[in-house]
Amino acid sequence: MRTTSALFLAVTTLLTTGAVVGQPTSPVASRTPLVPARYLEIPLGRIRPEGWLRHQLMIMRDGTTGHLDEFYPKLKNDNGWLGGKGDNWEETPYWLDGALPLAYLLDDKILIAKVKRYVDWSLDQQRASGYFGPLSKYERESAKPVVAGLQGEDWWPRMVMLKVLQQYHQATGDKRVLPFMTRYFRYQLANLTKAPLGQFSEWSTARGGDNLMTVYWLYNQTGDKFLLELARLINQQTTPWTQHFAGRDWVMEAAAQQNGDHWMDRHAVNVGMGLKLPIVQGQRDPKALAACKTGWTDLMTLHGLPHGMFSGDEDLHGNEPTQGVELCAIVETMFSLEQAIAVTGDPLYMDALERITYNALPTQTTDDYNSRQYFQIANQVQVSRGTFDFSLPFSRGMNNVFGPYAGYTCCTANMHQGWTKFASHLWYAIDAINRSSSRGPSSRGLAALEYAPNTVTMPVAGGAVATIQETTNYPFSDQIDFAISLSKPATFPFDLRIPGWCRQATVLLNGQKLRSDKGGRVIRLLRNWKSGDRLTLKLPMTVTTTNWARNSRAIERGPLVYALKVNASVAKATEKTEGMYYEYKPTSAWNYGLPQAVVKTPVQQTTVVEKAMPGRFIWNEANAPVEIHTTGRAIPNWQLVEGVARQPVSTREVVYQGEVSAKVDSLTLIPYGCTKLRVVAFPVVK
């Protein structure tokens, strides 16, 4: 192995320039024939999380995200992405896809140095052919570098590593990255005919949209025409997600079938990634964009759950609140939505991203970010080993418990990109010129499209540099304050999203009302801004109810879905193959129906209690900053059966027809993301 590595190093020394690493780069607009995106991604490092969001990222840094390589044997032992014989597939790139942005979001020098080892190895060990990554079987056996595609290995993990390198370039401007990617894509173009995406695994076929995304990103950087031909070839070899979403038969068949036919097209993580394919294709053919919107709407209609995600345990599995959702599917869907926001500017995707992030995402990890569930359940009234109603429970029944390795370990490595990618997509740049022939600075304005505490610094129109500090306890509070600092006064557009759940928002400038707007849109404030300007967005939050499977109801307020707070006892145990895990058993009643009066007049039948935001906020029951108090009546026959709290049916007359307790009990609901045990989809009773 040392001889082979030395050979590669000698070859690549001639190919690479020295690492020139500086500050975050500037956004780059689309080149013809690609269609201009509605917004441009802001390079990693220009957004600095603050407040509760920064604390969340610090928990990750101190937990698994910052230290997975130190204790997870697959990454720790002789790692293939550092030249060894260990992990040579997806898990190291998965981890880096979250750990690298975390390092630059926090500007953490120790973590930057850690992740940069892997980046440097990949950049410095590229073969003369353009191939990169761990040594292939051919290379280990022959001590010769890969020249042709069949000598290499699976395309899929390289797709993830390309995402890592794209973020690294955005954060540092390292001059090695663009030539490196150019050489690799020339290698792909030369070899995909004889060694197509599906040559080594079906995963590459299903996830080719990620490959296409980085090809178009590089094209916008360099303008190399061969990349357009490579994009055409990747399109041909990738699962036709655009046709699936547009044709609609696919989503109905996925709801009806749970057999082995075309199961990769129902695999929820593949679906979450596949959502980006029509978005990426839409940069060349705008007609493709409609397919994503159709697909997303159909997914949520047939498979949607109150926390904002579609079911997937591992296949798509309908809308019953007892179905599971894989953590990998959540973070991959979030990333696809972040791409959809940039390309389309559609508030539908902005609202969808917010709902998933602030509800589904935080509940699936422990406070220290060291354990996670493979599958969460919406109405999760116990967490334990079992097969439950999952389409793929695995033989050891470990998919629902919390543990570092419980279920399948893809989530151990991949969960880290959820919060980090969200934090780096709070803002987008507005390219007011949007001409592909213009290669000058493309950031003319700023768009705040997701809300959380942070500070962004970006150049804007007129040569000014803007620093905007966003102060808020959102999603728990309804006010967002923007303090604007400028190197000089400047006229530039400032876009604000008015969430779809908001009936009427108010915008104030320096304490004076500027305008009011209904929800479900993005508004543009184009004016001459000066240092010291203060912009305030008020988003009044009203308690509402929404309708879900079996005519159940969920209680919502603003961007958050609220769930019954269920007390739990926690037990730690060990499974010989999958290691340590935690089970949660209920110690308080959970089998309640929601009275019709609450459904009909939720504002009058509920009391909202807002608490002081904890200084070191953690998404858990003890820290919940908001509670909703209401009433409910117990349903005695609603019990766990085979570990599952299967949903009672509320009829079309809107009430459950079985036995209901005459006693009216007080219920405390907290944000879904703060729960481990809960009921979120309530049967309706009289």
List the Cα angle 336/342/270 in 5-degree steps. 10
Are 268 and 326 within 8 A, CB to CB? Answer: yes
Instruction: State residue 6's pLDDT score.
Output: 39
Predicted local distance difference test score (pLDDT) of residue 21:
58
Q: What is the C-alpha separation between 291 and 602, in angstroms, rounded?
A: 36
What's the domain count of the chain?
1
Sheet holding 534-538, edge to edge: 47-49, 454-459, 465-472, 479-486, 534-538, 505-509, 512-517
Bond prior to 475 in cis (omega within 30° of 0): yes
* pLDDT, tens digit, 9 for 90 and up, residues 445-502: 999 999 999 999 999 999 999 999 999 999 999 999 999 999 999 999 999 999 999 9
Backbone angles phi, psi at 179, to 5 degrees: -60, -35
CA distance 669 to 666: 10
Which residues are CB-neighbours of 211 under 8 A, at least 6 positions away? 155, 159, 162, 188, 197, 204, 234, 238
- 654 near 556, Cβ under 8 Å? no
Residue 252's pLDDT is what? 87
What is the C-alpha separation between 200 and 152, in angstroms, rounded?
Answer: 9
**Cα-only R_g, the chain:** 25
Contact (Cβ atoms closer than 8 angstroms) between residue 541 and residue 557 = yes
HSE (CB half, 13 Å, CA atoms) of 215?
A: 29
Residue 245, class by beta-carbon neighbours within 10 Å (0-12 exposed, 13-18 middle, 19+ buried)? buried
Q: What confidence category does residue 414 fall into, taking pLDDT thresholds of 50, 70 and 90?
A: very high
Q: Domain range holding 663?
A: 543-685
**Token pair belonging to 214:** 């980085």
Residue 302, domain member (yes or no): no
Q: pLDDT per residue over 586-620, tens digit each? A: 999 999 999 999 999 999 999 999 999 998 999 99
CA-wise closest residue to 155 among 105, 210, 116, 100: 210
575 in a domain, yes or no? yes
Nearest to 188 by CA among 222, 214, 223: 214
Cα distances (angstroms) measured from residue 114 to each of 86, 102, 103, 303, 625: 18, 12, 9, 40, 35
Whether residue 18 is predicted with pLDDT greater than 90 in this model: the reply is no
State both tokens at 139.
Answer: 């290379």
Q: What is the pLDDT of residue 256?
A: 85
How many Cβ atoms are within 10 Å of 237's Cβ, its own excluded?
Answer: 17
Question: Do the domain assignments include residue 53?
Answer: no
Would you say residue 1 has pLDDT above 90? no
Average pLDDT over residues 412-440: 81
Please indicate, yes or no, if residue 671 is contained in any of the structural domains: yes
- 408 assigned to some structural domain: no
**Stretch 660-676: mean pLDDT:** 98
Q: pLDDT class for 440, splitting at 50, 70, 90?
A: very low
Structure tokens at 248: 């609609």
Residue 525 and residue 507: Cα distance in Å, rounded? 10
Q: Which of 17-21, 148-152, 234-238 has the weakest average pLDDT? A: 17-21
Q: Assess whether the previous peptide bond of 27 is cis (omega < 30° from 0).
A: no
* 573, part of any domain: yes
Concatenated DSSP letters of 526-567: EEEE-TT-EEEEE----EEEEEEGGGEEEEEETTEEEEE---
Instruction: Give 191-221 pLDDT, tens digit per residue.
Output: 999 999 999 999 999 999 999 999 999 999 9
Return the sign of the alpha-carbon dihedral for residues 384, 389, 393, 396: positive
- pLDDT for the residue 19: 45
Q: 321 and 377 in contact (C-beta within 8 Å)?
A: yes
pLDDT at 254: 85
**What band does 409 get if pLDDT is binned at 50, 70 and 90?**
very high
- Four-point Cα dihedral 579, 580, 581, 582, nearest 10: 170
User: What string of DSSP letters covers 105-132?
Assistant: HTT-HHHHHHHHHHHHHHHHT--TTS--
φ, ψ dihedrals at 195, nearest 5°: -130, 75
Among the listed residues 475, 531, 476, 481, the one whose alpha carbon sits nearest the alpha carbon of residue 506: 481
CA nearest neighbour of 38 among 416, 473, 313, 347: 347
b vs e for 95-107, b when ≥16 Cβ sit within 10 Å of the residue's Cβ? bbbbbbbbbbbbe
Q: CB neighbours of 138 closer than 8 A, spacing ≥ 6?
A: 144, 146, 151, 152
Please list, in sequence order, all residues whose beta carbon lies within 8 angstroms of the beta carbon of residue 155, skipping any fewer than 6 positions away: 188, 197, 199, 200, 204, 211
Angle between helices 91-105 and 64-71 (to 10 degrees): 140
As a whole number of angstroms, the distance between CA 572 and CA 582 comes to 5
Residue 420 located in a structural domain: no
Residue 605 lies in a domain: yes
Neighbouring residues of 498: CB distance < 8 A, sequence distance ≥ 6: 347, 505, 517, 518, 519, 520, 521, 522, 523, 539
| Integer CA distances (angstroms), 265 to 232, 238, 242, 279, 290, in order | 21, 11, 12, 18, 19
Residue 438 CB-density burial (10 A; 0-12 exposed, 13-18 middle, 19+ buried): exposed
Query: Span 48-77, mean pLDDT?
Result: 98
Q: Cα–chain-centroid distance for residue 184?
A: 27
CB 438 within 8 A of CB 29: yes
Q: What confidence tens digit (pLDDT) does each residue in 113-149 have?
A: 999 999 999 999 999 999 999 999 999 999 999 999 9
- Partner residues linked to 470 by β-bridges: 454, 482
Can you tell me which residue has the tokens 């590229």?
126
